[in-house]
Protein backbone atom coordinates (compact mmCIF):
# COMPACT_ATOMS: atom_id res chain seq x y z
CA UNK A 1 0.00 0.00 0.00
CA UNK A 2 1.38 3.47 -0.83
CA UNK A 3 2.20 5.78 2.07
CA UNK A 4 -0.64 7.82 3.52
CA UNK A 5 -0.98 11.32 2.13
CA UNK A 6 0.15 14.20 4.33
CA UNK A 7 -1.92 16.71 2.37
CA UNK A 8 -4.53 16.91 -0.37
CA UNK A 9 -4.43 19.34 -3.29
CA UNK A 10 -7.26 20.49 -5.54
CA UNK A 11 -9.88 19.69 -2.93
CA UNK A 12 -12.85 21.42 -1.33
CA UNK A 13 -13.16 21.11 2.45
CA UNK A 14 -16.57 21.59 4.03
CA UNK A 15 -16.21 23.78 7.10
CA UNK A 16 -19.15 22.29 9.00
CA UNK A 17 -17.85 19.43 11.14
CA UNK A 18 -19.47 15.99 11.31
CA UNK A 19 -19.84 15.49 15.08
CA UNK A 20 -20.74 12.11 16.58
CA UNK A 21 -21.04 10.65 20.07
CA UNK A 22 -21.13 13.97 21.96
CA UNK A 23 -18.04 15.25 20.17
CA UNK A 24 -15.89 12.17 20.77
CA UNK A 25 -15.67 11.54 17.01
CA UNK A 26 -15.27 14.57 14.74
CA UNK A 27 -14.53 14.72 11.02
CA UNK A 28 -14.57 17.12 8.08
CA UNK A 29 -15.65 16.22 4.56
CA UNK A 30 -13.19 16.65 1.69
CA UNK A 31 -14.53 16.67 -1.89
CA UNK A 32 -12.49 16.03 -5.04
CA UNK A 33 -13.30 16.16 -8.73
CA UNK A 34 -14.91 13.03 -10.11
CA UNK A 35 -17.36 12.71 -7.21
CA UNK A 36 -14.64 11.47 -4.84
CA UNK A 37 -15.42 12.02 -1.16
CA UNK A 38 -13.30 11.47 1.93
CA UNK A 39 -13.51 12.48 5.55
CA UNK A 40 -10.63 13.36 7.85
CA UNK A 41 -11.21 12.92 11.53
CA UNK A 42 -10.23 12.14 15.07
CA UNK A 43 -11.59 9.64 17.57
CA UNK A 44 -11.23 10.13 21.32
CA UNK A 45 -10.94 7.16 23.70
CA UNK A 46 -14.05 5.03 23.83
CA UNK A 47 -16.01 2.49 21.81
CA UNK A 48 -18.25 3.61 18.93
CA UNK A 49 -20.40 1.79 16.38
CA UNK A 50 -20.91 3.18 12.86
CA UNK A 51 -23.19 1.95 10.10
CA UNK A 52 -22.13 2.22 6.47
CA UNK A 53 -24.17 3.05 3.40
CA UNK A 54 -21.37 2.60 0.86
CA UNK A 55 -18.18 0.57 1.22
CA UNK A 56 -15.46 2.44 3.13
CA UNK A 57 -11.71 2.26 3.64
CA UNK A 58 -10.44 3.60 6.96
CA UNK A 59 -6.75 4.53 6.95
CA UNK A 60 -5.19 5.20 10.34
CA UNK A 61 -3.02 8.33 10.20
CA UNK A 62 -1.94 8.50 13.86
CA UNK A 63 -2.68 6.61 17.05
CA UNK A 64 -4.21 3.16 17.18
CA UNK A 65 -7.54 1.39 17.48
CA UNK A 66 -9.24 -1.97 17.58
CA UNK A 67 -12.00 -2.69 15.08
CA UNK A 68 -14.71 -5.30 14.83
CA UNK A 69 -16.47 -5.30 11.47
CA UNK A 70 -20.09 -6.45 11.78
CA UNK A 71 -20.23 -10.22 11.44
CA UNK A 72 -16.66 -10.80 12.64
CA UNK A 73 -16.09 -12.58 15.93
CA UNK A 74 -12.95 -10.77 17.10
CA UNK A 75 -11.47 -7.28 17.01
CA UNK A 76 -8.34 -6.52 14.98
CA UNK A 77 -5.74 -3.94 16.04
CA UNK A 78 -4.70 -1.18 13.62
CA UNK A 79 -1.93 1.41 13.98
CA UNK A 80 -0.73 4.39 11.98
CA UNK A 81 -0.10 3.43 8.36
CA UNK A 82 -2.59 0.57 8.37
CA UNK A 83 -6.15 0.38 7.02
CA UNK A 84 -9.30 -1.70 7.12
CA UNK A 85 -12.23 -1.98 4.72
CA UNK A 86 -15.91 -2.10 5.62
CA UNK A 87 -18.60 -3.34 3.21
CA UNK A 88 -21.55 -1.16 2.28
CA UNK A 89 -24.78 -1.56 4.20
CA UNK A 90 -22.77 -2.91 7.12
CA UNK A 91 -21.02 -1.44 10.08
CA UNK A 92 -18.13 -1.60 12.49
CA UNK A 93 -17.22 -0.91 16.09
CA UNK A 94 -14.04 1.08 16.63
CA UNK A 95 -12.37 1.24 20.03
CA UNK A 96 -9.64 3.68 21.05
CA UNK A 97 -7.95 2.85 24.36
CA UNK A 98 -5.94 6.04 24.88
CA UNK A 99 -4.93 9.24 23.12
CA UNK A 100 -6.40 10.16 19.77
CA UNK A 101 -6.85 8.03 16.67
CA UNK A 102 -6.66 10.10 13.47
CA UNK A 103 -8.06 8.71 10.24
CA UNK A 104 -8.88 9.21 6.58
CA UNK A 105 -12.12 7.59 5.47
CA UNK A 106 -12.50 6.98 1.74
CA UNK A 107 -15.90 6.13 0.32
CA UNK A 108 -15.33 3.39 -2.26
Question: For residue range 19-51, what is the model confidence (pLDDT) as tens digits?
Answer: 999 999 999 999 999 999 999 999 999 999 999
Chain Cα centroid distance, residue 88? 14
Starting from the edge strand earliest in sequence, which strands make up the sheet with 46-51, in order? Answer: 46-51, 91-96, 64-69, 76-79
CA distance 94 to 90: 14
pLDDT one-digit tens code per residue, 47-100: 999 999 999 999 999 999 999 999 999 999 999 999 999 999 999 999 999 999
* Backbone dihedral angles phi then psi of residue 106, each to the nearest 5 degrees: -105, 130
Give the CATH number of domain 12-107; options: 3.20.20.70, 2.60.120.10, 1.10.10.60, 2.40.50.140: 2.60.120.10
- The pTM score is 0.93
Taking the domains of the chain in order of start, what are their residue ranges?
A: 12-107
Over the range 41-80, which residues count as b (16 or more CB within 10 Å of their CB) and which as e? bbbbeeebebebeeebebbbbebbbbbbbeeeeebeebee
Amino acid sequence: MPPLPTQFTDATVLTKANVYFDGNVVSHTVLFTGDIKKTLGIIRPGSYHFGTGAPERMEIVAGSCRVTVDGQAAATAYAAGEHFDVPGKGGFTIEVAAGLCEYICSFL
